[in-house]
Amino acid sequence: MAQATAPWQLSKKAYHAGVKALRKDLVQMQVQLKASPFKVLLILAGPEGAGRGDLLNTLAGWLDPRGVETFSFHEPTEEERERPLMWRYWRSLPACGRIGVYAGSWYTETLRAEARGKGALTQLAHEAARIRHFEKVLADSGTLLVKLWLQVSKTAQGRRLRALHADPLTAWRVTDEDWQHHQAYARLAKKAGRILAETDRPGAAWTIIDAEDERARDLVVGRLLLGRFRRHRLAQLRLAAPARIRAGAKTAARPLRPAGLRRLQALPLDQELSTEAYEAKREKWLGRLNRAVRATLAAQRSLVFVFEGWDAAGKGGAIRRLTSAIDPRYYSVIPVAKPTDEERQFHYLWRFWRQVPRDGRVAIFDRSWYGRVLVERLEGFCRADEWKRAYREINDFEQQLVEHGAIVLKYWLHVSHDEQLQRFREREGIIYKRHKINAEDWRNRAKRPAYEVAVGDMLALTDTAEAPWHLIPANNKRFARLEVLRSACRQIEEALEG
């Protein structure tokens, strides 16, 4: 943890001179930031009386408010409670080029629970791990995290609280809880120290700000923000150099885990299934799935289906059979295409966090976040370190869904190269299916070997106990559709029993 202090108590005159220079620089910073492919998160934490609110106001005065968003978090809303813990923070994130100032943040609830003595040790460790992961994901994707702990002595805290309390304009800001916290200053400082230590990581380090002198505090924070921004910007420019990106592209077609590729290639694809046998079994499994889904939703849990597969592998058909077993009022199919301009301003997982279903709902993703380790890996839309990191990020994302109570079902629909060719040709022959085939599909087809490697790695690295992959042989469409229903039933029934 770094420490940032002003070397002396600042005179009013020195302060104003300092502010004048700083404001120019901060505004210049915002102009540069606006054109930069990253965002800045300024996280303010610290005990009552350390002046978070005043600092926030000072910063609001210094910065161009058009580039700043201020956040604070109170009790989670119903919609927030019905999703994993971190959903509310994901949805708050500002776009690239902007500054998010967090007066309250993902630390607030954890710190408050600790202060009340409510946080069990295991709970704290768990929450700290969640936070570490969240901040790592952000830092890895280029976000500048400036985490500040405003430090005041117990004496100064008491003085500030009394001053606020004495002034009728600010008396409302001092609550009973604040006085209790003041009494327990030493104990709370120790607890906060532990949380800080647990979440002090490269790319997401805490800086302790001496907040005894208010003017010095504000000036130190302003200068620190500026310095961190400048260093970060240079580092990001180096990272985005074309040579680095080209170097990464070479490794894209080499497997990380050959076992996954072997598993994919060993899958038997040509099952027999008569129309009659299919129809009889389909009715049986649709009925069973319908009951299983209803039981899940009645238990206020959610279902997340992920469909991936080769072009023309029959994802659409499988989804339609699946949805025919679910009350249409409770599911939504989310087709995933190239990210929009707005989505490109965020982490690749952001647009999927946005779509995380509420408790008691079903989300069916027609393609998904796995695009990161498939098309984005192979087409060079991201650097090698980015897609290599994505496996762990994805596992963690899915784990958060499962921890919250969601059941995550993932399907890879596998067809042979020959079968795909035949389907492409058929589609071109059917007028109302012709739009489904375009030049890009043919290009992707030509890259099958590289895609097989990427699919293999995906299967090997993201087939977790919480969110297993179902590898579906799909040369026979009927068989594939049945397999999807069957395995969905089994996974859901198991999850409900477990």
Q: Closer to a copy of itself at the Cβ: 274 or 340?
A: 340
Residue identified by tokens 């119903």 is 78
> Cα–Cα distances in Å, from 316 out to 311, 340, 461, 492?
10, 22, 26, 21
- Residue 172 touches a copy of itself, criterion: CB under 8 A: yes
What is the rounded distance in angstroms from the CA atom of residue 140 to the CA atom of residue 393?
10
- Residue 173 touches a copy of itself, criterion: CB under 8 A: yes
Give the three-class secondary structure for 63: coil
Q: How far is the CB of 270 from a copy of itself (least distance, A)?
A: 27
- Residue 324 touches a copy of itself, criterion: CB under 8 A: yes
Q: Is 409 within 8 Å of 322 (Cβ atoms)?
A: no
Residue identified by tokens 């704290």 is 124
Q: Which residues pair with 277 in a beta bridge?
A: none
- Residue 66 touches a copy of itself, criterion: CB under 8 A: yes
**Selection from 336, 331, 330, 337 nearest residue 365 by Cα:** 336
Q: Closer to a copy of itself at the Cβ: 27 or 273?
A: 27
- Residue 329 touches a copy of itself, criterion: CB under 8 A: yes
Q: Closer to a copy of itself at the Cβ: 168 or 268?
A: 168
Q: Is 400 within 8 Å of 85 (Cβ atoms)?
A: yes
Q: How many residues bind a copy of itself (CB under 8 A)?
A: 56
- Residues 6+ away with beta carbon under 8 Å from 416: 269, 475
Dihedral angle, C-alpha 50, 229, 201, 99, nearest 10 °: 60
Q: How many helices (H) and strands (E) does the chain have?
A: 22, 11
Helix (H) or strand (E) holding 440: helix 439-446
Among 257, 263, 294, 392, binds a copy of itself (CB under 8 A): 294
Q: Closer to a copy of itself at the Cβ: 53 or 405?
A: 53
Among 4, 23, 252, 493, binds a copy of itself (CB under 8 A): 23
Q: Which stretch binds a copy of itself (CB under 8 A): 26-34, 249-257, 395-403, 450-458?
A: 26-34
Q: How far is the CB of 491 from a copy of itself (least distance, A)?
A: 20
Q: Closer to a copy of itself at the Cβ: 19 or 86?
A: 19
Among 65, 242, 429, 498, binds a copy of itself (CB under 8 A): 65
Q: Closer to a copy of itself at the Cβ: 331 or 391?
A: 331
What is the rounded distance in angstroms from the CA atom of residue 457 to the CA atom of residue 268?
19
What is the rounded distance in angstroms from the CA atom of residue 3 to the CA atom of residue 183?
25
Among 4, 5, 15, 69, binds a copy of itself (CB under 8 A): 69
Among 5, 72, 207, 399, binds a copy of itself (CB under 8 A): 72
- Residue 332 touches a copy of itself, criterion: CB under 8 A: yes
Long-range contacts from 479-484, C-beta under 8 angstroms, 24+ separation: 479/271, 479/273, 479/278, 480/313, 480/314, 480/318, 480/413, 481/278, 481/282, 481/314, 481/317, 481/318, 481/321, 482/273, 482/278, 482/281, 482/282, 482/285, 484/318, 484/321, 484/322, 484/411
- Residue 53 touches a copy of itself, criterion: CB under 8 A: yes
Q: How far is the CB of 455 from a copy of itself (least distance, A)?
A: 21
Q: Closer to a copy of itself at the Cβ: 318 or 461?
A: 318
Subset of 140-169 contacting a copy of itself (CB under 8 A):
168-169
Q: Closer to a copy of itself at the Cβ: 359 or 466?
A: 359
Q: How far is the CB of 281 from a copy of itself (least distance, A)?
A: 15
- Residue 56 touches a copy of itself, criterion: CB under 8 A: yes
Which DSSP state fits 201?
B
Q: Closer to a copy of itself at the Cβ: 327 or 385?
A: 327
Q: Closer to a copy of itself at the Cβ: 261 or 304?
A: 304
How many CA within 13 A on the CB side of residue 320? 6
Q: Which stretch binds a copy of itself (CB under 8 A): 73-81, 181-189, 414-422, 472-480?
A: 73-81
What is the gyration radius of the CA atoms in the chain, in angstroms?
27
Subset of 387-446 contacting a copy of itself (CB under 8 A):
431-433, 435
Among 17, 79, 193, 417, binds a copy of itself (CB under 8 A): 79
- Residue 12 touches a copy of itself, criterion: CB under 8 A: no
- Residue 17 touches a copy of itself, criterion: CB under 8 A: no
Beta strands in 248-347 (DSSP E): 303-309, 331-335
- Residues 6+ away with beta carbon under 8 Å from 440: none
Which residues of this protein are in contact with a copy of itself, per CB under 8 A? 23-28, 31, 53, 56-57, 60-61, 64-70, 72, 74, 77-79, 103-104, 168-169, 172-173, 286-287, 290, 294, 316, 319-320, 323-324, 327-333, 335, 337, 340-342, 366, 431-433, 435
